[in-house]
Amino acid sequence: MCGIFGYIGHQSSLPILVEGLRRLEYRGYDSTGVGLHDGETINVHKTVGKVNNLKQVLPKEANATMGIAHTRWATHGGVTQENTHPHASYDGKVLLVHNGIIENYRPLRAKLISKGIELQSETDSEVLAHMIGLELENGASPQDSVRNMLKRVRGTWGICVMFLDHDLLLCARNGSPLIIGQGDGEMFVSSDPHPLTSHTQRVVYLEDGDMATVTRTSIKVASKQGRSIQTNVQTLEDSWAESELGDAPHYMFKEIYEQPDALRHCITGRVDREMGTGRLGGMRLAHSTLVQAPHVRLLGCGTAAFAAEIGQMLIEKMARIPAVTHIASEYRNNDPIINTKAIYLAVSQSGETADTISAIKEIKLKGGQVFGVVNVVGSTIARLCGQGVYIHSGPEQSVASTKAFTNMVGALTVFSMQLGRSRNMSKEQGRELIQQLQQAPHLMEAYFEDVGPIDEAVDLLANAKSVLYLGRGLSAPVAKEGALKLMELAYIPCLAYPAGEMKHGPMALLEEGSPVVVVAPSDHLKEKTLLAIHECKARGAKIILIHEKGDAIAEEGDVSIAIPKIHPWLTPLLTVLPLQLMAYRTAVRLGKDVDRPRNLAKSVTVE
């Protein structure tokens, strides 16, 4: 969500900060600002809107070699210049940027007002700057002033603090990621690894409870109590450099068409064709764990949850043991019963999803073993779990996920094979699945060579009051993912239902001309899906049908879009592609900001 970037070194900080903010744009935000320290004064520049808007109010040159910057996603207070970060203390000696939410900010705010401090914004973050300022005024060091402030607040934070009278940056983390990049005579602070890759590959990940003093030449990490912690410098992978747009009109367009190569990267080296099984060494699963697990539980939010639902069904089909998918934000708060022999999978593109992180902590607290299914190496979930599988889709710049979804499904398919072969799935079944899975990237490419009448589908979708998405079995979560994409990008209300549930309520929305998107591959549920199609058509609905090439069901659609034929258990890898393109082209037709939809963030780092 919100983004932080900081710099202290020997170069002019302004262009570095602006470029850092630009590389954080994909996270989603509504206002942005920078604070510059030239050794004598601190100057703040901020504005509502995008980084390009900020550029209009920045000086052409600045002598500052230290600064902090922020992209804000509104939580406390509206989208106004006053609420935009950075926030200054009452005396101007402290400047702060903050990601997260301070839960007890109201009584803290009231106490500041009682002391005669006039707050300039509605935010919870400004409170922190004033509290640090008061500590400094009472003689505390910068480190103690931040530490004393943190002892009095509840919530989540990733903060970077700059001081008028001190040549350093102070950073602290609790539940919101912060990474420090180590250069030569310069240091960088970021809430995300992407902006750091153009400056350095050497990074230090802060853990919850850490506080770091960052100078031009050193990083010193300490606990909240002041105990020194040894810094562990890690190396960023080259693949996490910013993805270049090239000739593509949008990042989402580019990432949709990158899916064949992304899926190849995901499955390469992870299947054993001879034995017909998956091979996920990073999960470090003992054979006894696979055989004795009573059930599998999968956790995720949004797109990750829909991928998890597909994984759940594949686990049950291949391994014949119960599997359940949970929305991570609900799971933790429902006081779950943890079976220490069960397998728990935490699915997240960013690896920073706050709700999923909280669920993992709850499971681990109660003795459960959690495995991460994530995209970002070194992310909080990856480090918290310590074991799992990277989906290797590469960086996604568009807020709406595409290639991460198919790679999550690909990774969960491989896991399901490994679990299934350890229990009851035959070698022959495993070999057939592997052969088809390895063909999936080629079939994706074949579909992209002829995507079908997507624009005819857009004609029906673009002016719709609402859109109903239907599917059965593995196609039900695919329908949910398709509905989410159209809703995210085009701001059209969408409902996704298992096709059998359509007559239990959603049918009331149907009227003459209502578009209904039906995902109907050639599986054992196709005939039942056909019944739902007939019920919709009888009420005047227009059917947008996703089907397999050569299937006679094509004649049932007002707009019929064919995908290549594939094993019924692998159809989600292909049926989702036209749904992504439909959402993308509808948003383009309506003039929406495809890569950065309103009110949304790529990485949801607050609960």
160 is an active site residue: no
Q: Which amino acid is at 377?
A: V
Cis upstream peptide for 86 (omega within 30°):
yes
Closest CA to 33 of 70, 62, 6, 66: 70
Total residues found in the chain within this entry: 607
Which of 2, 301, 385, 494 is catalytic? The answer is: 2
Closest CA to 86 of 60, 66, 109: 66
Residues 6 or more apart whose Cβ sits within 8 Å of residue 227? none
Residues 6 or more apart whose Cβ sits within 8 Å of residue 164? 37, 41, 42, 92, 93, 94, 95
The secondary structure of residue 155, as a DSSP letter, is B
* Contact status, residue 381 vs residue 351, Cβ threshold 8 Å: yes
Alpha-carbon distance of 30 to 592, in angstroms, equals 15
Rg of the chain, C-alpha, whole Å:
25
385 is an active site residue: no
* Contact status, residue 563 vs residue 521, Cβ threshold 8 Å: yes
Residue found under tokens 């939580």: 75
Alpha helices in 343-453 (DSSP H): 354-365, 380-385, 403-421, 427-449
Alpha-carbon distance of 15 to 262, in angstroms, equals 33
Which of 50, 403, 485, 602 is catalytic? The answer is: 602
* Contact status, residue 544 vs residue 559, Cβ threshold 8 Å: yes
Write out the E strands in 488-598.
494-498, 515-519, 542-548, 559-563
Tokens linked to 43: 């100057």
Pick left, alpha or beta for residue 597 (phi over 0 → left; psi -120 to 50 → alpha; otherwise beta). Answer: beta
Residue 399's φ and ψ, nearest 5 degrees, are -60, -40
Burial class (CB in 10 A: 0-12, 13-18, 19+), 591: exposed
Q: Which three-class secondary structure state does DSSP give residue 562?
A: strand
Active-site residue numbers?
A: 2, 602
